[in-house]
A and B are shown apart, each in its own frame.
Chain A
């Protein structure tokens, strides 16, 4: 009898262990942070702490930022989508058509999400009433200046108007050898579009007015002429993409460029000086055409998305991982490490975030950001390609700014009429 009891206890224990082993699951998390040097370590630490807390593993599937959407689409067609993924706010509309995308309102409930996030951040992940993305980190795309380069050029005050901005660029060109004063994106269509619309807004224009292209308006031509002149006067250079601008900025060759608040983290990494470079990285207000105009900036943020044939339970390992990423313990450290704002109310209220003057300066410099409407258009990729090509044709001198603007207009009309 004693042996029987011992046998039963052992069998139950073995079953319990086996059941425990079966319950431990692996969550697939497709993201670009773990593929980048600047975030790899932090991401691995978050996966390790998740395993410690829940016993579940996270398979960090890192891809280059530019390959994310392509991989989502290909994996959707081969039915191999991950449980959870990362997406850029402005690129969410491209993958929103994937049928396996899950609505977080159904998983966690709308009220809980409204309590957890500020409405402005939550809106970045909402499409047609569905919460397809949960905000992870957020902020804006705005101007950043290298104080050391400005000092070397003898610039004592930050430029506020476009005229002052150009004068500062000329001063940098003439006083800092081998410099590219403005880190204007001139190589990659997706990067070009961001710089182009920022300048277009600065000059008072817009890509679409009343639902129609308006890229050959006088304001648009003036913006394109300004950028064309900047290249021909060696204030900016052809063959520059955002990563190039980040490196030039970190190496003291570029005075100004457009980026997300991540700019400080890139500067730390690419300068090889880590936090020593922090005082040189200054968020500044966008130059305005006329004194008193509102400085422009673009909404920006990273989102968390979920996939599955049906909505996962809120306590499923995949959703536990989502909540782990958004917990104060993980999110605050991650956001500060990446030099960006966290998106939950609790994290925004944390002492660590409030004490980071860079983040508060960034927020002050980029008030009232606008949405990049091109990315959310159904034909956003084609529109970006047309803008990128005509922009390049203008800055390379193949066309005048006016010719390029007119060609851009007629090509966009053609693309959008289809």
Chain B
């Protein structure tokens, strides 16, 4: 048998065409797939991977406004940050922020989706209007909420005074709890439309007869929710929780516009900490170090999310 001949299972030999692609059709498909992926890979490499590698490298350097060239310091920045109580506090603040924004966004997004899944007059218009907070730039929303909570001209104080609940205006954003509540409320308001859309899509794929049958059998609202809606929406929950956590871990603009991370450091989440280190304290090396630690906190939910996606694809 010549070297380029191939045997079929019945023992007959055949010689492939000299024009046939190396590796056969499968390899051709794979090469085509890589070609399709190439633009996205290039964009990812240029826009995401390259800056991240640069930031990772910068985290091993001292680079401040007074050092014209970066000075290699090894792991010193990491040691300094991990022993800094303000950075540890930023991790706690971030955890609180992510927990409350994610849970409230999911709960209210689901509730709103259930309402909008019911047939009633004007439902389509309300569904459309519900998307407004999502369309609006986060900074604009932050200013709207900033005015609602403003100590002097704010709506909240005006209502409180009108109802006789407060004697003097309260500086909500100057109070650590008030400031955290305000930034969480703003983010929840921004996130509800997106989460609602996910849940609504999930609910629309549900068999309504199943719920009607449960109701005939005497199931109340809670049982319908627990035994039928929740199990049906389980895959949606997985995606929404992980995406919500990633989005909230990355949040910067609305928090910085409303409180700048204050009062004191009450709303100084990791994104604000990176900004402060880079553009207020002009310490690019430390800012890169906080950024790397911040990415490390985003990686586990991102990995979990991707794993679920891959599982779904299989």
Q: CB within 8 Å of B: which residues of A? A: 70, 73, 94-95, 97, 99, 180, 186-189, 234, 237-239, 248, 378-379, 381-382, 385, 389, 392-393, 396, 398
Contacts and interface: CB of A to CB of B under 8 A. Distances in A.
A378 B171 CA distance: 34
A94 B68 CA distance: 12
Given A73-B65, A99-B68, A188-B260, A239 B173 contact: yes
Contacts, number: 57
Contact of A73 (B152, B168, B264, B282): B282
B302 to A, nearest CB: 28
A89 B276 CA distance: 22
A339 B50 CA distance: 49
Contact of B174 (A70, A180, A239, A378): A239
Interface in B136-175: 150-152, 168, 171, 173-175
Contacts of B247: none
Contacts of B4: none
B232 interface: no
Contacts of B152: 180, 237, 248
Interface string B28-42: 000000000000000
A385 B168 contact: no
Interface string B276-314: 100111100000000000000000000000000000000
A237 B150 CA distance: 12
B276 A385 contact: yes
A94 B264 contact: no
A378 B175 CA distance: 31
A239 B65 CA distance: 30
Contacts of A392: 174, 262-264
Given A94-B65, A389-B264, A239 B281 contact: no
A234 B174 contact: no
B265 interface: yes
A130 to B, nearest CB: 15
A417 B282 CA distance: 18
Nearest to A241: B260
A378 B66 contact: yes
Contacts of B263: 187, 238-239, 392, 396
Given A73-B65, A396-B263, A382 B171 contact: no
A378 B282 CA distance: 10
Contacts of A385: 276, 280-281
Contacts of A396: 174-176, 263-264
**Most interface-central of A239, A379, A392 (chain B CB within 10 A):** A239
A70 B65 contact: no
Contacts of A378: 66
Contacts of A381: 280-282
A257 to B, nearest CB: 15
23 contacts: A95-B65, A97-B65, A97-B66, A97-B68, A99-B68, A187-B174, A187-B260, A187-B263, A189-B280, A237-B151, A238-B171, A239-B151, A239-B171, A239-B173, A248-B152, A378-B66, A379-B281, A385-B280, A389-B262, A389-B265, A392-B262, A392-B263, A393-B264
A128 to B, nearest CB: 13
Given A238-B151, A238-B171, A187 B282 contact: no
B278 to A, nearest CB: 9
Contacts of B151: 237-239
A392 to B, nearest CB: 5
Contacts of B279: 70
Interface string B257-279: 00010111100000000001001
